[in-house]
Amino acid sequence: MAETVAEILNAYRAGTATPADIVARSYARIRRHDDPAIFIALREEADVLAEATALARATERSAPLYGIPVAVKDNIDVKGLPTTAACPAFSYRPKQDATVVRRLREAGALILGKTNLDQFATGLVGVRTPYGIARNLFDPKLIPGGSSTGSAIAVAAGIVPLALGTDTAGSGRVPAAYGNIVGLKPSRGLVSTAGLVPACRTLDCVSVFALTVDDATAALAAVAGADAADPYSRPRPRPLRPVGPMPAGVRLGVPVPGDRLFFGDKISAAAYEDALSRLAGLGATIVEIDIEPLYAAARLLYEGPWVAERYLTVRALIASAPETMHPVTRQVILAGAHGTAADAFAAFYQLEELKRVCDHMFRAIDVLVVPTVPTIYTIEEVLADPIQLNSRLGTYTNFVNLLDLCALAVPASMRPDGTPFGVTLLAPAGEDAALAAIGRKFHEATALPLGALEQALA
């Protein structure tokens, strides 16, 4: 069955499927899955089918995402649908698409709807939303991961083969790990954030969820590029596709054993060791390094001045109607209202020092490989301890954008308890293509199923 972008495009070329067929299948799967917490806003099926039929009549069918259904996180503007950032009181109707959505349409994609998220993209758990907690596809007692919850689940459940998320502190990687799918967090500035509700405007990235590395890279190639509407946009000279072979003898940095944090989860610790063994078997050289400086950078994200950026986005709402916000989100963001300029500059100085340490680290390695998440918690556990447990999930993600790294989260294995485990490849900004080459080879070697589908990775 055609599930991936590549397979769907092949089916179109062979005449065995049409865009309308794939759109109809997407809506049928939404009904069958029966989880209203995945989408916040969904376009009428008849409207998308009409768009798909019109697309099929066009003479030009070589667009890279021709007829591919896509879901979009509901902090990214889609013309015709409200943007809520999972806060009904914040809702507005954009007059135009975000740049990334416009580029998706220009590449032939069909937008199905807007997906659920941790409110204002503040969280890694997927439970900080008034629109319901989406079901974890492998165990309904467990959190689905956030903040890009609905987008990740829509891909993992086979509703769409591609979805957009965002990633400031790990929101494009954590739910990918919990869904057994690929989460691509590009280099900062590679994809425009014009039309995105900011979390931390200086750090925000639009991310891509897909079933395979090739699909994620194809989507990135379609939407990447400088944008005059985004002052943080940065052109990248290196090509993004096609994905090349894994380099021989690539040096993969891994935390020294004393720096590996799993918070008592021995199953995840063993899964990480297995992943490193598989990478070594593929020809990589494993280099143990001290990553404590990365943890120091991670602590700055929520203990430093960057929380003030989150506060800037919602300060009018907090001043006028604070009760309309999720209480945990409000608590986290309010911390950003009390810092001083002196505190901010002290943190900026510390971060620059840590960047120099990070630069030195990457002279000894090509890529850093870390667990995407150290463990997973039940919904009940997170609701009882929402701040600390969420913080733990950001152990290997929170430092990435602060240190200007690109990231690729890929599935690694299925744990004995039936839940997925994944690893993330990290490299300095601009090395997105290098991560794709390693990530694709590793993912292929796992022979895992695609997301929560029965189809194996080809």
Catalytic residue IDs: 73, 147, 171
Cis peptide before 207 (omega within 30 of 0): no
Helix axes 45-57, 19-33, angle to 10 degrees: 160
User: What are the helix (H) ranges across 123-203?
Assistant: 149-156, 174-179
- For residues 151 and 126, the answer to whether their CB atoms sit within 8 Å is no
User: For residue 298, what are the CA distances in angstroms to 170, 301, 302, 334, 393?
Assistant: 11, 6, 8, 19, 11
Residue labelled with tokens 């990918």: 176
- For residues 66 and 19, the answer to whether their CB atoms sit within 8 Å is yes
Q: H/E element holding 113?
A: strand 110-115
Burial 36-48 (b: 16+ CB within 10 A, else e): ebbbbbbbebeeb
Between CA 43 and CA 27 the distance in angstroms is 10
C-alpha 151 chain-centroid distance: 8
| Residue 341 amino acid letter | A
Per DSSP bridges, beta strands 69-73 and 162-166 are parallel
Per DSSP bridges, beta strands 405-414 and 162-166 are unpaired
Between CA 354 and CA 213 the distance in angstroms is 30
| Residue 20 amino acid letter | A
Between CA 187 and CA 173 the distance in angstroms is 14
Between CA 12 and CA 426 the distance in angstroms is 35
Look at residue 355 and give its three-state secondary structure.
helix
- For residues 96 and 210, the answer to whether their CB atoms sit within 8 Å is no
| Rg (the chain; Cα; Å) | 20
Q: What sign does the dihedral 275-276-277-279 (CA atoms) show? A: positive
Between CA 257 and CA 259 the distance in angstroms is 5
